[in-house]
Structure 1
Amino acid sequence: MDWCVLSLLLLMLGKHGLCQQEEVCSKSAITSCKDCITSGPFCSWCKELNFTKGGEQEAARCETRAKLMARGCKREEIISPQNTEEIKQQDPLSKSSGSTEPVQMTPQKIDLKLRPGLPHKFKVSFKRAEGYPVDLYYLMDLSYSMKDDLANVKRLGGNLFDALNKITKDAKIGFGAFVDKTVLPYTNTNEEKLKKPCDESEAQCQAAFGYRHVLSMTPSRDVFRQKVAEQYISGNLDSPEGSLDAMMQAAVCGDKIGWRNSSTRLIVLATDAGFHMAGDGKLAGILEPNDELCHMTGNLYEKSNDMDYPSVGQLAMQLEKNNIQPIFAVTENVNNVYKELTKMIPKSVVGVLSSDSNNVVQLIESAYNNLTSKVTVTHDILPDNVRVEYLALCEHRINEGPNKGVCDQVQAEKEISFEVTVTVDKCMEEEKSFTISPLGIKDKLTVTISTNCECQCNDPEGSNHIHCNSTGSITCGICK
């Protein structure tokens, strides 16, 4: 046979037969219509009277639609519930970020009634609004090795604010500082050293501290520069710092920081050292686990010496919950450490600071563009027996597994879509809900699910039907 003909034949077989999912009804112990339709997504029930032959079990009414019709069951007599979808809220995508809160994802609410085992697909659309508000919290390591960096941040404070205003005309900026827990072995607890943990030659040195909130979100360039200019270096003993303590408090103390409800929220962590994490507190006899709550008295983290550092998982969860995207601005010596950290914290990015932080403005601009051009859609905790998969419908799709849809190089005002597939594996007694959202963005889609596990047979009324020898009623073609 000619190779061209053979290749074409094989291609047609693959396209029309071999690659197509075969509808199979795997059934066992079927005594009713409900038993049938819940035994598999392709099982159908024939409710036609006299469909079964003498001596034949009623389970013969349960088969695929095609096989039932081949046996003579009329199409209108076949019960096979299908998935249904009702969009409850579908506000259109905003053209730009104006005075009202922009809509960047649609729809917002959808109700699904699903047959167990039968996947249901729908689409969500996303468009990043131009000029969306940005809140940036600059969280700086003030340990002694960051002395030169602090001097440059003081000098570049205005430039940093100007860079934000290039991104959006609605920008706010805040400032916080951290070192580490003020107990051994992290900090020298000699009374004089607690007051002045820097070198003796250092004239301006602030007392040891864990995390201090300095400036809540402000639109004022001058206020930011003034507050940064007031900061002095501090110090501690060991190299890892209390970075995660500080980030956790900045994430969960929303009112204190001044995060806005509708903004892109960024934490820029500037450091030249690694970080302590859950379990390290044992070195100082601190056994109480981090509770992921806000503990700010005045502007200081009051539980710094009483509570362990958070785990990376705890921090990642709170950052995601509060729609905060971290930018790790770190020196070359710890670049690999923070690269590994970004693998565990969704929507995070790392950039290398020059040894004196002279490139911090360019780093933040680049990191922001990397974060906002990558759109990741995923879900929160799913109800039991519910599965969700995503397919990104965009030019620059990234495969990060079925549990999320990822598009890269997405420009503002460019609309993209994601195909969402929801499958329920078992019947539910009551409605369940979950949400789908783009990471780091407030917009959400609430999906409410119920299951379609009942047969709507429109049975004739009466308890003494002639078909049942006037001694029973008809239920989906069977005498009961």
Structure 2
Amino acid sequence: MDITVLLLSALLGFVSYVGANTDSNPCISANAKTCGECIQIGPQCVWCKDPDFKPSRCDDIESMAKAGCTADGVENPRGAVTIDKNKPVTNRKTDGGQNLRPDEITQIQPQKVKLNLRSGEAQKFTLKFKRAEDYPIDLYFLMDLSHSMLSNLENFKNLGTELANEMKDITKDLRIGFGSFFRKPSIQTNPCFPDNCIAPFSYFNVLSLTDDHALFTQEISKLKTSGNLDSSEAGLEALMQAAVCTDVIGWRNVTRLLVFFTDAGLRFSGDGKRGGIVRLNDGKCLLDDNMYTRSDYSDYPSLSQLVDTVTDNSIHTIFAVTEQYRDLYQELSAKVPNSAVGTLSTSGDNLAKLVIDALIPLSSEVIVENSKLPDGVSISYVSHCKNGVNGRGEDGRKCSNISIGDEVLFDIEITAKGCPSKGKPETIKIKPLGFSEEVEIFLNYICECECHKDGIKNSPECSGGQGTLECGVCRCNEGRSGRICECTQDLDAYCQMDMSSGICSNNGECVCGTCECKKRENPEERYSGRYCECNNFSCDRFNNKLCGGHGRCMCGQCACEFNYAGSACQCSMDTSSCLASNKLICNGHGICECGQCKCLDNCQGPTCEICLT
């Protein structure tokens, strides 16, 4: 029992030593030589620019004040958030009702934000999103014109009128358009029916978006399917062109909905090799008189191209497909943001209902996304949705079950580490997925202190003009080094024990190739050694005493006094406490370790005098 207590005491003493002696001040340990380097360590670090200030110039604010830095001498720049454009979200009841143009409707707030970012200091703002009442919708249909879609085409001719009636509670500003697709002309295997064959084509824009629903019906009535027996395969080519050809299709900056009708599968990048087509699809708008002209020149698009294109152009996609291909398109929809799948009936008489049923869940969820972040910049989201539902992490990017007129909030935190992009300002954007509105965020990085601007070039204080006196220290000219630029070359390598260790072990300053160890707040504590690699205060402790009070700390190791041993000199070599009544050490039945008997031979007791026979 006594030995257990002794060991526990030693363990607690060691833990106490670790807590007391771990050099946990990153402001000092980073060995910053300039104010800019100091403030990039973290938001807790400040710099003292007072002339002749002797302690570490980079430290936390509390330690700096204790060390005697004046209040005016402390450089501690902070980040900030500035809202540059903050137009309120639209309220139809108070903002003009039906007289608003699409570009006058606002669904996100704010619109422009400027962030001044200091390393490690998060800047936060709140994004508000509101689904506007009666928000305009552009609805474009892409239909497979292979022969197997004949019955669907007949039902499709009345779709414009049906949808206008069905969607009147969602929006009164509905524009509709139509395009068709089939297959690459060079990849054709089956002949046409006599006198009833449309020449093979990949994609044709039949009617650009219009609010003339009668014209939509009129143009659709003129169409007929191909007599070719091949299945349609150019769907993704058509979808890419319909999404990227903004001006030709007539897309506005409103809700963009594309409905893709087919009873066939898909072809992706690489499948064009069957027709000898190997050139990659470039994803550009290549319509000539509404016809895609590069079908026999470029391969099918890749899935990643499709995802990027519909995302960049804020397209909501509905795949209306037959039961046979539903699983295939479900798998595709899982990869395409803001998309849904609906099952097309055999006759196609459920087209209008399918579109409405798919549109409702698509429009009831908002997901915010950001453009590519610069290296060294991170972002986090916290959502505040309906009915008190909050989300963090990936869930912090979205809110569900949003009805028209509902408002939701997203708390957004952006943090920089170090000095990204070498301090050059950058811009990122955040927007709700599938919407054209976005928040523009200007990032300014705080990489230098204000005193940097007041630097005196070629200052006499820096060895007669060999550097810039800046923030209380010399920033040396090229080819010079040292505290006051007194050295003719950079000799930092001579102050490193090896390539993996810091200059002067991060415990001193390299002056012309020689380490000058820094001072400790406690004058009894010192760094020493050629590379300041030793100290007299980081040895093991026992009973909260350095080297147990029975030794000297020498370069991290205890040098114990006579009759003491152990890493913390915690072990007494005196055996008098182990003498039994018969004057034998541990009664001859044990070993005396650190003044305590360790009994053997089934004996016990402080001096092993109780033995079982």
Instruction: Name the TM-score, length of structure 1 as normaliser.
Output: 0.82
Change (3 A) 1:348 1:235: farther
Q: Does 1:306 align with 2:308?
A: no
Task: Give ranges in structure 2 of 5+ residues lacking alignment.
Answer: 1-23, 93-97, 475-483, 485-613
For 1:126, the aligned partner's letter is F
**How many aligned positions are there?**
436
> Per the alignment, do residues 399 and 113 of structure 1 end up closer, same or farther by CA in structure 2, a change over 3 Å counting?
closer
Residues 161 and 173 in structure 1, CA contact (< 8 A), matched pair in contact too: no
**Aligned in 2, Cα 1:460/1:284: closer, same or farther, shift over 3 Å?**
closer
Match of 1:8 in 2: none
Q: Specify the alignment match of 1:224 in structure 2.
A: 216
Question: 2:80 aligned to 52, 63, 84, which one?
Answer: 84
**Residue aligning to 2:320:** 329
Identity value in percent: 39
Give the whole-Å Cα distance in 2 for the aligned partners of 1:400 and 1:353.
36
Given the alignment of the two structures, is residue 269 of structure 1 paired with residue 269 of structure 2, yes or no?
A: no
Closer/same/farther in 2, CA of residues 35 and 426 from structure 1, 3 Å limit? closer
- Does structure 1 residue 255 correspond to structure 2 residue 255? no
Structure with greater contact order relative to length (CA < 8 Å, sep ≥ 6): 1
Q: SS state of the match for residue 166, structure 1? A: coil
Q: Do the aligned residues in 1 keep the contact of 2:423 with 2:447 (CA within 8 Å)?
A: no
Report if aligned partners of 1:134, 1:171 keep a CA contact under 8 Å in 2. yes
- What CA deviation, in whole Å up to 9, does each residue of 1:270-311 have, x standing for no partner? 111221111110111101111111222223211112211111
SS in 2 for 1:378: strand
Taking the TM superposition and a 5 Å limit, the aligned residue runs for 1:177-196 are 177-184=180-187, 186-188=188-190, 193=191
Give the 3 Å change call, closer, same or farther, for CA 40–250 of structure 1 in structure 2: same
Q: Does 1:116 align with 2:109?
A: no
Give yes or no for contact 2:144–2:232 (8 Å, CA) kept in 1. no
Residue 475 of structure 1 deviates from its aligned partner by 4.7
Partner residue, 2:446: 452
The SS at the match of 1:417 is: strand
Counterpart of 1:94? Answer: 90
Instruction: Report how far residue 138 of structure 1 moved.
Output: 0.8
Q: Does 1:214 align with 2:185?
A: no
Letter of the structure 1 residue corresponding to residue 384 of structure 2: L
Q: Give the Cα–Cα distance (whole angstroms) in 2 for the partners of residues 215 and 87 of structure 1.
A: 42
C-alpha change, 1:204 and 1:82, in structure 2 (3 Å) is: same
Distance in structure 2 (CA, Å) of the matches to 1:385 and 1:232: 56
Aligned partners of 1:136 and 1:267 also within 8 Å = yes
Spell out, residue by residue over 1:413-435, the C-alpha distance to the aligned partner (whole angstroms, 9 max, x if none): 22211111112223233211111
> Structure 1 residue 124: deviation in Å?
1.2
Highest CA radius of gyration, 1 or 2?
2
The one-character-per-residue Cα deviations of 1:288-343 (angstroms, maximum 9, x if unpaired) are 11111122222321111221111111122121222211111112221121112122
Give the Cα–Cα distance (whole angstroms) in 2 for the partners of residues 26 and 444 of structure 1: 42
Where 2:267 maps in the other structure, the secondary structure is coil
1:65 aligns with 2:65: no
Q: Secondary structure at the match of 2:423?
A: coil
The structure 2 residue matched to 1:105, chosen from 105, 108, 111, is 108
Query: Which residue number corresponds to residue 350 of structure 1?
Result: 341
The CA distance in 2 between the partners of 1:34 and 1:394, in whole Å, is 41
**Kept after mapping to 2: 8 A contact 1:400/1:406:** no
Which residue in 2 is equivalent to 1:401? Answer: 394
1:442 aligns with 2:436: yes
Q: Is the 8 A contact 2:147 2:229 kept in 1?
A: no
1:61 & 1:221 partners in 2: Cα distance? Answer: 74
Q: Mean Cα displacement is larger for which, 251-260 or 235-244?
A: 235-244
Deviation of 1:242 after TM superposition, in Å, equals 0.8
Using the TM superposition, name which of 391-400 and 447-456 deviates more.
391-400
Preserved contact between residue 111 and residue 448 of structure 1 (Cα < 8 Å): yes
Judge conservation of contact 1:27–1:40 (CA < 8 Å) in 2. no
Q: In structure 1, what residue type is equivalent to 2:226?
A: S
Name the residue aligned to 1:43.
45
| Residue number in structure 2 paired with 1:429 | 423
The residue that corresponds to 1:29 in the other structure is: 31
What TM-score do the two structures reach when normalised by structure 2? 0.65
Match of 1:242 among 234, 237, 241: 234
- Post-superposition offset of 1:398: 6.2
